[in-house]
């Protein structure tokens, strides 16, 4: 199959996978113990949940957008000698 038929190249898929991993890490950082009706957990207001995790998630989404828009430079074609 010809490479021109693919919408993304190898680098696009690598960048897309990295972005998805960063988003998953951001969501994991955002998760935490919840509060119930009888017990309140003040750890949900930590800096990790409120500041760090949303920034990491946002950077992951930005890197996914960059992976979609990224277009590598065209490689020079070698002339075949016949």
pLDDT tens over the chain, length 82 residues: 555 677 788 888 999 999 999 999 999 988 876 667 677 777 777 888 888 999 999 999 999 999 999 887 766 666 666 5
Strands (E), the chain: none
What pLDDT was estimated at residue 76?
61
What pLDDT was estimated at residue 62?
96
3-state secondary structure of 72: coil
Query: Helical H runs in the chain?
Result: 10-30, 47, 53-69
- This prediction has a pTM of 0.74
What pLDDT was estimated at residue 24?
96
What pLDDT was estimated at residue 55?
95
């Amino acid at each position: 199959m010809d490479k021109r038929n693919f919408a993304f190249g190898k680098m696009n898929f690598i960048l897309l996978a990295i972005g998805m991993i960063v988003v998953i890490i951001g969501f994991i950082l955002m998760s935490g113990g919840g509060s119930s009706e009888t017990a309140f957990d003040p750890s949900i207001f930590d800096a990790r949940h409120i500041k760090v995790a949303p920034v990491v998630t946002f950077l992951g989404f930005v890197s996914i957008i960059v992976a979609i828009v990224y277009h590598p430079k065209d490689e020079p074609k070698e002339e075949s000698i016949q």
